[in-house]
Amino acid sequence: MRIAIITRDKPNHLQMRVDTREAHLAYIKQTGVVEMAGPFLNADNQMCGSLIVLNVTDLTTAEAWAANDPYSKAGLFETITLSKWKKVIG
Q: Give the residue from 12, 5, 30 showing the smallest Cα distance to 75.
A: 12
Asked if the model's pLDDT at residue 90 lies above 90, the reply is: no
Q: pLDDT tens digits, residue range 5-62?
A: 999 999 999 999 999 999 999 999 999 999 999 999 999 999 999 999 999 999 999 9
H or E stretch covering 66: helix 59-68
Count Cβ atoms within 10 A of the Cβ of residue 85 and give its class: 0-12 exposed, 13-18 middle, 19 or more buried: middle
* pLDDT of 67: 98
Asked: is 2-84 a CATH 3.30.530.20 domain? The reply is: no
Q: pLDDT tens digits, residue range 65-80?
A: 999 999 999 999 999 9
Q: What are the helix (H) ranges across 8-58?
A: 14-31
